Amino acid sequence: MYQRLAAVLFPFVAAALTGAALWGYYEHQDKNALLIKAENQYQRAFHELTYYMDQLQSELGKARAASHQSESFQRKELAQVWRMTSEAQNQINQLPLTLLPFNKTEEFLDRLATFSHQTSLRDFRQQPLTENELVTLKTLHERAKELSDELRAIQSKTIKDGLRWMDVEMALASEDKKMDNAIIDGFKMVDEKVAGYSEVEWGPSVMSLYEKRTPAMLEGKPASEADIRQSAVRFLGEDPGDRLSVTENGQGTEYASWSVRVDMPDGDPIRMDFTKQGGLLLWFSNPRDAEDSRLSPEQATRFAREFLESRNYKDEFVPVNYDEYEHTGNITFAVKEGDVTVYPRKLVVKVALDNGEVLGLEARDYVYEPAGQASGTLALTEEEARQKLNPGFKVETSGKALIKNDFGAKVLCHVFTGKVNGEIFRVFINAETGTEEMVERIQPIESAFENKDA
């Protein structure tokens, strides 16, 4: 009987074992294929990073070598420097370096991109490179060459020793703190070298973009824990009692702030951050998932306005941007001072599109940007500024705005919203020089609520 049963079951068992073996084989093959694909992508990104760093130092060398009379050539080379820097940054973002201290190198490249971009936008016939900028260009060329040589050394060792980037990813993700990986060691050495580049004089227009916001910029008295608790309760509209906790961050430093957490019985906690100086709300988050989208942009904007008014935000706000993501609407409001919309002084309200509940508020720009910036005379009338527009641009609304241009400077502009080539744009014309400072493409829904609120 047992022999007969075994004879019957044997083909099924054999088929099952064969199937399991085949499944394991194909799973292994698929896993290997994914690993090979990831490794190839990392190798490509690293080799392209090395290539773009070579090109970057080459373009900087050309810009240095150009005659002061060759304004157009210098501008062209600086534009190339900006492009190569951007390409290098893009390749860095594709490497598994998120857990590796490489921030000094990324910061250096970011500032180099800003310097080259801002400088290339100038009219060199009116504003040629200054002596300080020529010194900066020389220093940047030398430093870029050093970085390029370091990356070439890492590349040579990678190829010679057959090193794999997947090993880098696993080493960074592991709990092992030794991480004696040659690629990791090489990138650490690069970042340590960049940290010593303190002699680079970026100039005030570049450094103004990297000014750190500190409580020293704010008015008011330092807020106590009791002050913050009271502000949080007032903002929430109810007292959560023991579910509300207040924690001080950066105690004793110039970056000290307060964090608030409210534990919710049936969801993730509500969180808020306040400045220590003045006790001002920086951001608020209520991480509820909205279920669907039943509200229009206009309705979401109305809920956001009502929320700001109920929380005692007394400034006049103008909606300047709207976008949707996962059944939530994000409305950016800029402060209006008189007839001028001040774009740097803004806040963002996140509204659930299922019932209009406000799920978030980002107010850092509103807190740190001072009021009263919209003063100044307009050298150009609106009609004169309108003449600077593309002849095919059909203006729908117009107004005045204060913006930050590509150089980080705040400029007063005439702003026009309208259509050209079937698309909607917002164009900012410098009210002093007539220069086209900025062009923004906006969505029809933004234009709709903008026109309604204009």
CA atoms within 13 A on the CB side of 154: 23
Query: Which residues neighbour 29 within 8 Å (Cβ) at sequence distance 6 or greater?
Result: none
394 domain residue, yes or no: yes
Residue 292 lies in a domain: yes
Last residue in a domain, options 368, 400, 431: 368
What pLDDT sits at residue 454? 43
Positions of the chain with pLDDT under 50 = 26, 99, 177, 179, 453-454
Rounded-to-integer distance, Cα 225 and Cα 127, Å: 52
Number of C-alpha atoms within 13 angstroms, CB side, residue 325?
7
pLDDT of residue 231: 94
- Do 144 and 271 lie in a common domain? no
84 CA to centre of own chain: 19
Please check whether residues 267 and 289 belong to one and the same domain.
yes
Q: Are 375 and 399 in contact (CB under 8 A)?
A: no
In terms of C-beta density within 10 A (0-12 exposed, 13-18 middle, 19 or more buried), how is residue 297 classed? buried
Residues 364 and 302 in one domain: yes
What pLDDT shows up at residue 30? 55
H helices of 237-378, in order, are 297-310, 364-368
Do residues 167 and 199 both lie within one domain?
Answer: yes
Report the distance separating Cα 329 and Cα 296, nearest Å. 9
Q: Are residues 81 and 143 in the same domain?
A: yes
Tokens 């803004």 sit on residue: 346
What local confidence, expressed as pLDDT, does residue 34 receive? 62
- Domain limits at 448? 382-453
Taking alpha carbons only, the member of 148, 149, 180, 184 closest to residue 165 is 184
Any domain includes 375: no
Do 185 and 295 have their domain in common? no
Residue 103: predicted pLDDT = 64
DSSP 20: H
Q: Render pLDDT for 4-19 as a digit per residue (tens, 0 to 9).
A: 555 555 555 555 555 5
> For tokens 């079937």, what's the residue?
422
Distance CA 167, CA 39 (A): 9
C-alpha torsion angle, residues 193, 197, 198, 201 (rounded to 10): -170
Using a cut of 0.75, tell me whether the model's pTM lies above it. Answer: no
